[in-house]
Amino acid sequence: MTQARPPVTLVDYGVGNIHSIAKAVERAGCRVAVAERPDALLAARCLVFPGVGAFDAVMGRLGPVREELAKRLRDGVPCLAVCIGMQVLFERSEEGRMDGLGLLRGTVRRLKHDTLPHMGWNTVEHDGDPIFRGVPSGSYFYFVHSYAPRAGASAIARTTYGRPFAAAVRTANVVGTQFHPEKSSSAGRRVLENFAAMARKRG
């Protein structure tokens, strides 16, 4: 019997190309709808925050539904938040002036390295969270960023570039990845498939 394809709503910030993440999530087994209006996010059963844009540009788009959206995520709506999508889960960022969603405590900091952005493949050491099921710790993932949260209590995976930073975080059913799973070959595909399984359980 074919497993159902869970519906996933992809947030369109209006600031960049989201085609690659949409296609990758579809290949992982989901039905993808793109939400161009922020109020459409409040009825979504599962969400994906793509990894395009800057902190204030993303929060400017999410701002009108910031409190309601944060409450839905705290209440258990599954969400995969990629790169900048992960960063806006935090309270604030050195990149911008606006408040983040505040699901996670702390400030996203500029990386301490002579060469920025951090661009290319790097290893990810993870703690065995279900989002990494079938992916060995130390696998390579693809990064493009200059800011990242510290590897604090919410981190479920870590990478070092100048200093250690959180490569992935979790709170409730919300998983953030600083790397781009849609650009990370077989390891990234497995992460997306694991998210699809999480979304399928939500029904």
- Listed in order, strand segments (DSSP E) in the chain are 7-11, 31-35, 47-49, 79-82, 90-93, 104-110, 118-126, 139-145, 147-148, 155-161, 163-171, 174-177
Residue 126, phi-psi category: left (phi > 0), alpha (psi -120 to 50), beta (remainder) = beta
Query: Which amino acid type is present at position 112?
Result: K
Indicate which residue of 46, 118, 126, 182 is catalytic: 182
Active site residue 26: no
With residue 44 as reference, give the H or E element that holds it.
none
167, 135 contact by CB (below 8 A): no
Indicate which residue of 118, 126, 145, 180 is catalytic: 180
Output the six-digit token pair for 78. 């599954």
Indicate which residue of 83, 118, 145, 193 is catalytic: 83
- Residue that the structure tokens 């990494």 belong to: 132
Active site residue 125: no
Active site residue 118: no
Cα–Cα distance, 54 to 94 (Å, whole number): 11
Query: Which amino acid type is present at position 171?
Result: T
Cα–Cα distance, 51 to 178 (Å, whole number): 8
Residues marked as catalytic: 83, 180, 182
